[in-house]
Structure 1
Amino acid sequence: MAFKVLLIDDEPGAIEGMQLWIDWRGLGFEVCGTCGNGAEGLEMIEKLEPDLVVTDVRMPVLDGLGMIEMWQRSGSRPVRFAIVSGYSDFQYAQKALRFGVTHYFLKPIDEEAAAKELAVIYEELLQERELQRISRIASLEETVFRIKKLLTEPPGLPPELERDAEAVEERSASVGLEGLSSLREAWNFCLIRTVPGRRAELREIAASLAAGEEAMVLVDLETGEFGLVFGYAPGADGEDGIARIRELARRYAGRPALLALGAGEPSLGGLHACFRGAHKAMPHNFYAEGYPAIARDRQVRLRSFDCRYDQADWIDRVLEAVQLLDQAGLRKAAQEAAVRFRERYIDPDIVMKLVVHLFYNIAEQLREALGDKANPLIDRNAAPWAPEALTVEELLGELVSFGADGIHLLLEETFRSSRGIVQEINRYIGEHYREGLTIKKLAEVFYLHPVYLGQLLMKKNGIHFNGMIHDLRIEEAARLLRENKLKNSEVAERVGYANYGQFLKQFEKRLGMSPNEYRSRN
């Protein structure tokens, strides 16, 4: 760490000598400027903000001690001073002690002695910097504590006075924040929500923004959420300070972040109203179509959720899709539901409860069909994921994922226990394929659902039911054509085709030639 040093002396040669003979960089310093008298020195200190000022005592216009006295009386930022003088001016050194100046360089400056003195000063500056850092942290923590109190604790005022300007100003003063409150024309709160696994990342981004911005403080909440309290100028930043939050939204690009803004208040004393407004606005992000999303209390306060929804039909469709092992049907039901929920603006709490209800119903179906084998899947997908889903699509996506995993497990278990029945089904198909057999008729014979039966045959035979039927029919047709006793149309009818065109299409597809060509070759 390099500290900035300002050199002041009315003799250019003395300045040049200090720069030439002292290894400032090696000792941890960087010369940021030079000047020739105390009056110029005051201006340079104000402009350059040095950590150390090394000044001659005797100078025109304003001497070194006068400059030190004036700076210290001004109440500006603290600066460490060291004086340069000869033996004959020792009385000046004694006077400097009254101003707290304890470091003294004798002219002509000795390089070795100067290095020792500057090493001591460097250590003092390091300790001072650390104390300032600790003090800033303590001050910030105290500020955050007081702001959090304003944010989360109701003001204890009657509703008709809660937004009264004098009342909120008094509330700011009651916790010692009137100075901070006066830094900006208005104040607001931005609530930030994300999935648990991304909280630390998004909090760090918000903390980084707050550290580099004036009048912006990060606040952690007991709920595990966090937010930003910030001041703004209504004219330049929007009536709720949205312009100051857009930079955070830019930094959150591509991350699962939902932001909610209160309406804004004229001082920190009104933060609780901002806090309530942000929490009321947050649920409206449930229907956001992308991240990051920002719900603003001023924009959504007049829009209400619909609490009436006939859910029986949708529940039946989802449960039936799982029962029938129909993953495509499950996904379609969820997609259509997301559209309906969004169009009707159904209350997110209702949707959440509905999805959790469906989760437990699907879990019960799995337990009835699989017993204890279903427990690992159910435990891995336990319903607490529901409140963590940020949008309607994510919520329904979690339900579909759980249902699809359940269907996969049911299929595997059924396939495992169905070896014997597949042989019986195949035998039945071989005996009845000429009769216009369909998957629906076959399912009725074996008391199985058509969707499941089709998946079972594909899994065990490696071919779809319809493909299997056509293969058997064309194989039999080829045998009859080789006997050369029946017309082509009679062969088609004999093997189960009522439509000759369909017979011709399937024959050519499988054998690569027409029935007449096949007959002539065989």
Structure 2
Amino acid sequence: MHLHNAILVDDEVYTRKGLMKLIDWEACGFRIVAEADNGEDALELIERIRPDLVITDITMPVLDGLELIRRIVEEKTVSPVFIIISGYSDFKYAQQAVRYGVHDFILKPIDEIDFSKTLRKLNERLKQNRVEYVRNERLLTGAMIESLIKGEADEAFVAEWEQRLMLRPNDRLFYMFAELNDNHPWRQSGVQAPTASFKEIVHLAIRHETGDDQPIYLHEHRNRIGILVPDRVLERFGGEVRLFALRIKEALSEADCSIFLYFGTPVFRLMDVPQSYKTAKEALLYKYIHDDGRIVIYDQVRSEGLNYVGIDAGDFNRFIEQIEELQSDAVKATIDSLFLDFRDKRYAPEAVKMNIHQCVLGVTKAIRSMDGDERSLASLEPIVGWHDLNLSLSELKRLFTEFVVESQNCIAHLRKVQLKGAIQKIRSYIEANYSSNISLKSIAAEFYINPVYLGQLFKKTYGVYFNDFLLQIRVNEAKKLLRQSSDMRIYEVAEKVGFSSADYFVTQFEKIERMTPTEYRNKLL
């Protein structure tokens, strides 16, 4: 809970200590941070500590309470709220207090309940004022940064903001982007963090690492936060930008945020911030090259070349073949190699997007060629819809791998469906052509199927090997001829059902029926 700072001013030490014990300050939203026994010391404390509340007596040596309030109000360097406590109920004092905007005038002895109630009401008012102040300050900050970036700020405007930023001569000024990554509906945790709070999380992280004495100015861009970072902020990090970035990234990581930080080149005038902003945007192009560290400082990467080429056509075709042939290990190795190339061969984000898109199109085309529908894939939407999201290279690899694996499963299923239909066609073909000189090899060629795989599929589907299946059909047809044509010779029956040798026919017939064709006919007679 945020507590407001308060100072007690009274020349009687027992009054101050008694008041501190009498009131539950924290419960009322305050904490006593200092005491003074005269107005002059109180004046110095107020200007140095800049408290939210000053509780003061009127009658004090050196500088009385009303004079203390008058000087603070008129000098306007600080603006605390004042509460007067006094043993005198003189209307003149109260009237003067009202003129100076004093919050309340309380008579001694102090009533604990009434005074606590006054403090609680004041606490609520101060909290509302703080919220309003922060909101207005952020609106002003956003307008200031935007006008600077667009080059619309005049010299008077820039001078005013340089004073607010407490810029010193020769101070460097960086423009930094903080980018929230991997925050999407398909993330592994299944919980998407509210992006609206990211700006506040960044602000708190920087405050935590740099303290409250330096103004922090942030601006919300479309999908990242821009921050002005002056040298004064970097002092506690030895002026090292990378050390500052590491501390901020660690603080943000504790908030369960996957963060990238990008720094533009330093400038020495607020007027030149557009140059730092422009180079911070250029630093975004090196994102996937620095996926491990996730900190990109433009001046350290500017000389590094970027790659905008597509995947080699031969490599692409081999990859699609591996997917179609369900070579899971080979596919995994190819994906690993592809994403290593993205990083090590310095692919720009647009080139990565182009190559991933090409692969996705190749896979969906393969699925459609098998009469499948790629829209049935749960992993299709993420790998198609990620283009406008901030994704790390590792997260993109995860989404792409899930898409490829699910596509392989889809292709395997489609192939089973196709082969189930194909095996029925093959059976019909055998039943129509059993009298011809057909074989497993010739049928496999006819239907563009590997003969070994066809033999396995036949055994799995019908429980017998192909040759046994074909022999059974031929013998059954021979039996039908023997039953229906008593004058047909045995060699004629053999030729009719696809045997080129009558002796071989007799041997095979006897193997199945446990009798010769002649014995079978005689049995019928």
Taking structure 1 as the reference length, the TM-score comes to: 0.67
Displacement after TM superposition at 1:262 (Å): 0.6
Aligned to 2:135: 137
Deviation string 1:133-183 (CA, Å, 9 cap, x unpaired) is 3123212211122213323x2x38xxxxxxxxxxx9x55835952323443
Tell me the distance in 1 between the aligned counterparts of 2:21 and 2:50.
23
Secondary structure at 2:319's aligned position in 1? helix
1:195 counterpart = 2:182: yes
1:313 counterpart = 2:314: yes
Tell me the distance in 2 between the aligned counterparts of 1:350 and 1:19.
66
Do the aligned residues in 1 keep the contact of 2:9 with 2:54 (CA within 8 Å)? yes
Displacement after TM superposition at 1:28 (Å): 6.3
Q: 1:450 to 1:409 in 2, by over 3 A?
A: farther
Displacement after TM superposition at 1:402 (Å): 2.4
Matches within 5 A, 1:28-427: 33-46=34-47, 50-79=51-80, 80-86=82-88, 91-101=92-102, 103-106=104-107, 109-112=108-111, 115-116=113-114, 119-120=117-118, 122-124=120-122, 126-151=124-149, 153=150, 155=151, 173=157, 176-183=160-167, 185-193=171-179, 194-197=181-184, 200=195, 203-212=199-208, 213=210, 214-222=214-222, 224-233=223-232, 241-253=241-253, 255-290=257-292, 292-307=293-308, 311-371=312-372, 373-377=373-377, 380=381, 383-385=384-386, 388=389, 390=391, 394-395=395-396, 397-419=398-420
Q: 1:285 to 1:424 in 2, by over 3 A?
A: same
Displacement after TM superposition at 1:366 (Å): 0.8
Do the aligned residues in 2 keep the contact of 1:27 with 1:115 (CA within 8 Å)? no
Deviation string 1:64-93 (CA, Å, 9 cap, x unpaired) is 333333333443322313141336x66544
Mark the runs of 5 or more structure 2 residues left unpaired by the alignment. Answer: 185-191, 427-439, 464-525
Code of the aligned partner of 1:183:
L
Tell me the distance in 1 between the aligned counterparts of 2:147 and 2:459.
65
Secondary structure at 1:183's aligned position in 2? coil
Deviation string 1:252-274 (CA, Å, 9 cap, x unpaired) is 44854332211121133222212
Q: 1:122 to 1:190 in 2, by over 3 A?
A: same
Secondary structure at 1:418's aligned position in 2? helix
Taking structure 2 as the reference length, the TM-score comes to: 0.67
Code of the aligned partner of 2:137:
S
Q: 1:460 to 1:105 in 2, by over 3 A?
A: same
Tell me the distance in 2 between the aligned counterparts of 1:96 and 1:210.
40
Q: 1:278 to 1:52 in 2, by over 3 A?
A: closer
Q: 1:235 to 1:103 in 2, by over 3 A?
A: closer
Mark the runs of 5 or more structure 1 residues left unpaired by the alignment. Answer: 157-167, 426-438, 463-522
Code of the aligned partner of 2:172:
A
Code of the aligned partner of 2:285:
P
Do the aligned residues in 1 keep the contact of 2:217 with 2:228 (CA within 8 Å)? yes
Q: 1:10 to 1:215 in 2, by over 3 A?
A: closer
Secondary structure at 1:295's aligned position in 2? strand
Q: Which moved more, 1:200-209 or 1:388-397?
A: 388-397
Q: Percent identity?
A: 22
Matches within 5 A, 1:461-476: none
Code of the aligned partner of 1:134:
E
Displacement after TM superposition at 1:49 (Å): 5.0
Q: 1:443 to 1:300 in 2, by over 3 A?
A: farther
Do the aligned residues in 2 keep the contact of 1:3 with 1:51 (CA within 8 Å)? yes
Deviation string 1:202-222 (CA, Å, 9 cap, x unpaired) is 555323224544333332113
Displacement after TM superposition at 1:393 (Å): 5.5
Do the aligned residues in 2 keep the contact of 1:258 with 1:293 (CA within 8 Å)? yes
Code of the aligned partner of 1:136:
V
Q: 1:364 to 1:183 in 2, by over 3 A?
A: same
Code of the aligned partner of 1:366:
I
Aligned Cα root-mean-square deviation (Å): 4.3
Displacement after TM superposition at 1:312 (Å): 1.0
Aligned length in residues: 429
Tell me the distance in 2 between the aligned counterparts of 1:171 and 1:240.
30
Deviation string 1:387-446 (CA, Å, 9 cap, x unpaired) is 647455554554443233222112123224535877999xxxxxxxxxxxxx99997696
Q: 1:333 to 1:453 in 2, by over 3 A?
A: farther
Displacement after TM superposition at 1:130 (Å): 1.8
Tell me the distance in 1 between the aligned counterparts of 2:460 and 2:288.
40
Do the aligned residues in 2 keep the contact of 1:35 with 1:41 (CA within 8 Å)? yes
Code of the aligned partner of 1:284:
Y
